[in-house]
Chain A
């Protein structure tokens, strides 16, 4: 049973460029969330996708956008990259059940903006 997989694992971009990060959820999960984690801090919620729609959003500008596909996989897009966007980007998937709503994380994509 594959867990949450993310690609690429590492990438370097230049200020002003655009980046797309990809995520495949854990098998059977239908909800995908994205988090940004700066060095030394806890993950910060960006947004959540369910049924191919953005359902909830954190305090991130419109430069951050996403998409969910019919197979539940997801993409995170960041436009007009800033140096401050350098971080670990985490994808998490979940499937609400009677026993709770556990989220499972991937290993993340390290983005460096230079």
Chain B
């Protein structure tokens, strides 16, 4: 699995968009970009994933650059409950292990 790089922490004002970046410059052609978040003491929660195209679901949007070397997770209207550690990983269809870094701690402030 390719390695990802994320900033260790970010702040966001409640109600504003939170944009979380991730670099994955060594991603392979068959690897998807996945985002998870982990609220304290709970298991990681799946948010969204994509291969090439931008994706949107009820939780977030995922923007992947054309060269696929980086991506951005967008939480359009952050709430206090979005405060969590966000992990970006890359994973192939036949992948076994997934390599997690230390993620980005997002703090949403009132």
Chain A residues in the interface with B (C-beta under 8 A): 4, 33, 35, 40-45, 48, 55-56, 58, 88, 90, 96-97, 100-108, 110
Sample of 17 further A-B pairs with CB below 8 A, known A58-B97, A88-B41, A101-B95:
A33-B97, A42-B101, A42-B102, A56-B97, A100-B49, A100-B93, A101-B91, A101-B92, A101-B93, A101-B94, A102-B34, A103-B34, A103-B46, A104-B46, A105-B45, A108-B43, A110-B41
Main secondary structure of the interface of A (DSSP, over half): strand
Least Cβ distance of B52 to chain A in Å?
12
Interface string of B87-104 (1 = CB under 8 A from A): 100011111111111110
Beyond A45-B98, A48-B97, whether A107 also contacts B43 by CB under 8 A is: yes
